[in-house]
Structure 1
Amino acid sequence: MVPEPRDLGIAVSNPTIVVAANLFDGLVTYDDNFKPRPQLAESWAQSADGKEITFNLRKGVKWHDGTPFTSADVKYSILEVVKKTHPRGIGTYGQLQTIETPDDYTAVLKLAAPSPVIWSALSSSETQILPRHLYEGTDPLTNPWNAKPIGTGAFVFKEWVHGSHITLERNPDYWVAGKPYLDRITFKLVPDAGARAAALETGEVQYVPLSPVPLSDVSRLQKLPSVRVETRGWEAVAPVFFFDFNLRRKQFQDVRVRRAIAHSINRRALAETVWYGFADPSTGPVPAAQKQFHEPNLPQYEFDPKKAEQLLDEAGFKRGVDGVRMRFTHLNHTYGDDFKRSGEFIRQQLKRVGIEVELINYDLPTFLRKAYTEYDFDTLNVFYAAFSDPQLGVQRRFWSKAIQPGSAWSNASGYSNPAFDQVVADALVEPDVAKRRALLVKLQSIAQTDLPSISLLELKQFRVWSSRLHDVDVSPVGVYASLASAWLVP
Structure 2
Amino acid sequence: MTPFPVATRRNFLLASAAIGATMIAGRPALAAEPSRGGSATLLLSAEPPVLTTIAHTAYNSVYVSPKVTEGLLTYDFDLNPQPLLAKEWSVSDDGLRYTFKLRDGVRWHDGKPFTSADVAFSIKTIKDVHPRGRNTFLNLIEVETPDALTAVLTLSKPAPYLITALAASETPIVPRHIYEGTKVTDNPTNLAPIGTGPFRFKEWVRGSHIVYERNPDYWDKPGPYLDQLIVRFIPDAAARSIAIETGEIDLAPSTPVPLSDLERFKSLPGIAFETRGYQYANGISRIEFNLERPFFKDRRVRQAFAHVIDRKVIRNTINYGYGEAIPGPINPNLTKWYVADLKTYPIDLAAAEKLLDEAGYPRGPDGIRARINLDYVPSGESYSRGSEYIRQALAKVGVDATVRSQDFATYTKRIYTDRDFDFAFEGMSNLFDPTVGVQRLYWSRNFKPGVPFSNGAAYSNPKVDALLEAAAIEIDPGKRGAQWREIQAILVEDLPAIDIVSQPELTIYNKRIADHTRGGEGIAGSLAYAYVATA
1:154-212 Cα deviation digits (max 9, x unpaired): 11111111122111111122222211111111112223221221122221221122322
* 1:170 corresponding residue in structure 2: 214
Given that 2:77 and 2:279 are in contact with CA atoms closer than 8 Å, whether structure 1 keeps it comes out as no
TM-score (norm 1): 0.96
In 1, Cα distance between equivalents of 2:364 and 2:268: 54
Partner of 2:391: helix, strand, or coil?
helix
Q: What RMSD in Å do the two structures reach over aligned CA positions?
A: 1.5
Q: Structure 1 stretch 152-161 or stretch 466-475: which is displaced more?
A: 466-475
Question: Does structure 2 conserve the Cα–Cα contact (< 8 Å) formed by 1:271 and 1:457?
Answer: yes
Alpha-carbon deviation of 1:474?
Answer: 5.2
The residue that corresponds to 1:400 in the other structure is 444
Gaps of 5+ in 2: 1-43
Could you say what secondary structure the match of 1:461 adopts?
A: coil
Q: Distance between the aligned counterparts of 2:240 and 2:97, measured in 1? A: 47
Corresponding residue for residue 62 of structure 1: 107
1:13 and 2:58 matched: yes
* 1:80-229 equivalence runs, <5 A: 81-229=125-273
Cα pair 1:267 1:303 within 8 Å, conserved:
no
8 Å Cα contact 1:278-1:461 kept in structure 2: no
Amino acid aligned to 1:384:
M
Distance 2:264 2:439 in 1: 38
Separation (CA, whole Å) in 2 of partners of 1:467 and 1:60? 35
Secondary structure at 2:316 match in 1: helix
CA offsets per residue over residues 452-479 of structure 1, 9 Å max, x none? Answer: 1111111112221112111221533213
Moved more, 8-17 or 180-189: 8-17
**Does residue 342 in structure 1 map to residue 386 in structure 2?**
yes
Deviation digits for residues 329-369 of structure 1 (CA, Å, limit 9, x no counterpart) = 11111223321111101011111122211111122222112
Pairwise CA distance, 1:78: 0.4
Q: 1:312-338 CA deviation, whole Å, 9 max, x = no partner?
A: 233343333433332211111122332
Match of 2:308 among 264, 287, 290: 264
| Alignment correspondent of 1:458 | 502
> What letter is aligned with 1:372?
Y
Which of 32, 45, 52 is the matching residue for 1:2?
45
**Alignment match, 1:34:** 79
What pairs up with 1:450-489 in 2 under 5 angstroms? 450-473=494-517, 475-488=519-532, 489=534
User: How many residues end up aligned between the 2 structures?
Assistant: 489
Matched AA of 2:358: E
Aligned partner of 1:43: which letter? E
Tell me what 2:5 maps to.
none
Structure 1 residue 23 corresponds to structure 2 residue 72? no
Give the Cα separation in 2 of the matches to 1:304 and 1:281: 18
The C-alpha deviation readout for 1:113-136, integer Å capped at 9, x for no partner, is 111232231101110100111111
Q: Which residue does 2:417 correspond to in 1?
A: 373
* Structure 1: stretches of 5+ with no match in the other structure: none
Alignment counterpart, residue 89 of structure 2, candidates 39, 44, 52:
44
Deviation at 1:148, TM superposition (A): 1.6
- Give matches, 1:235-314, under 5 Å: 235-314=279-358
Q: Which amino acid aligns with 2:86?
A: A
| Whole-angstrom CA distance in 1 between matches of 2:373 and 2:354 | 22
The answer to whether the 8 A contact 2:76-2:518 is kept is: no
1:412 positional shift: 1.1
**Worse overlay, 282-291 or 436-445:** 436-445
CA–CA distance in structure 2, aligned partners of residues 105 and 172 of structure 1: 23
- Map of 2:121 onto structure 1: 76
CA deviation vs aligned residue, 1:390-410 (integer Å, no higher than 9, x gap): 111111111111110100001
Q: For 1:43 and 1:435, how far apart are their aligned partners in 2?
A: 31
CA contact (8 A) 2:259 2:320 kept: yes
**Partners in 2 of 1:464 and 1:310 — Cα distance?**
46
Choose 102-111 or 296-305, whichever is displaced more.
296-305
Please give the TM-score of this superposition, normalised by the length of structure 2: 0.89
8 Å contact 2:52–2:64 — kept in the other structure? no
